[in-house]
């Protein structure tokens, strides 16, 4: 079994609009091992979120490759990439992306049900209890606080025990205390499940807690360092 979980090789991303062509990412190249934690940092507009979306297979590069656990994402079609994400990748969005017509429990059960898990209700209940929401199973997102919604989103991502968890500014819309609790939970779950954790963050303290820090400047890797 390879120790390399994520391999990003010579990734470029350009878009064309009315003003011409804009290069967002230039020759991005790095690898992350199984169970490793990494922070992608850089100024707003540097290309961090685009890079994370490409690593997730939610966006496509103009050129270059991304391998997840040895599988070339962009040798797959969209349906195959979606199937790989369902099996190996969890994604936590800054905006939570919860379904408003489903309860907290139903939101967390959904990926389990899509995967055909017969224990979906029990597994989702246990994960929500793990994130401190055992009393909020029947609550809809609109009555949950921002921190509670983020914990539901984390529970939904971790309940599948993904090999890779990608999080885009996971504390960006939370107050300091709540954000700190969310990060503790994320690192705890990472250690418990051995998940490779990749965070986009502006928070220097969070970045310092990761084993690797990838600094993006003007679409390029300006620095790739081991923090711990």
What pLDDT does 25 receive? 95
- The answer to whether residue 15 sits within a structural domain is no
Q: Pairing state of beta strands 71-72 and 63-68?
A: antiparallel
pLDDT at 1: 46
DSSP-H helix ranges across the chain: 48-55, 78-88, 104-114, 120-130, 146-158, 176-193, 204-209
Residue 8 lies in a domain: no
Output DSSP code: residue 15. E
| Residue 14 lies inside a defined structural domain of this protein | no
Distances (CA, A) of 159 to 40, 66, 218: 24, 24, 35
Specify if 6 maps to a domain: no
71 belongs to a structural domain: no
The per-residue pLDDT for 2 is 57
Q: What is the pTM of this model?
A: 0.84
Instruction: Report the distance separating Cα 38 and Cα 128, nearest Å.
Output: 25
Coil, strand or helix at 109: helix
Residue 206 lies in a domain: yes
Dihedral sign (CA 30, 14, 167, 109): negative
Rounded Cα–Cα distance for residues 109 and 115 (Å): 10
Q: What is the mean pLDDT of each run of 10 residues along the chain (228 residues)?
A: 86 89 92 94 89 93 95 94 89 84 96 90 93 93 91 88 89 76 83 90 88 91 68
Residue 116 sits in a domain whose CATH number is: 3.40.50.300
- Tell me which residue range forms the domain holding 123: 35-57+76-226
Is residue 107 in a domain? Answer: yes
Number of domains in the chain: 1
Residue 121 lies in a domain: yes
């Amino acid at each position: 079994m390879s120790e390399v979980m994520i391999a990003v090789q010579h990734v470029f991303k350009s878009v064309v609009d009315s003003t011409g062509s804009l290069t967002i990412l230039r020759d991005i190249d790095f690898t992350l091992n199984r169970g490793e934690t990494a922070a992608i940092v850089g100024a707003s507009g540097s290309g961090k979120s685009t890079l994370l979306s490409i690593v997730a297979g939610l966006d496509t590069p103009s050129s270059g490759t991304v391998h997840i656990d040895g599988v070339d994402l962009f040798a797959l079609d969209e349906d195959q990439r979606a199937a790989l994400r369902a099996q190996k990748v969890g994604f936590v969005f800054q905006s939570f992306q919860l379904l408003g017509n489903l309860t907290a429990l139903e939101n967390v059960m959904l990926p389990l049900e899509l995967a055909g898990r017969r224990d979906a209700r029990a597994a989702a209940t246990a994960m929500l209890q793990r994130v401190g929401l055992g009393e909020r199973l029947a609550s809809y997102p609109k009555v949950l606080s921002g921190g509670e919604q983020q914990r539901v989103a984390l529970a939904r991502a971790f309940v599948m025990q993904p090999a890779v968890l990608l999080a885009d500014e996971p504390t960006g819309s939370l107050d300091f205390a709540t954000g700190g609790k969310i990060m503790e939970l994320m690192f705890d779950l990472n250690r418990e499940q051995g998940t490779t954790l990749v965070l986009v963050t502006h928070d220097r303290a969070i970045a310092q807690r990761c084993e690797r820090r990838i600094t993006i400047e003007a679409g390029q890797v300006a620095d790739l360092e081991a923090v711990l």
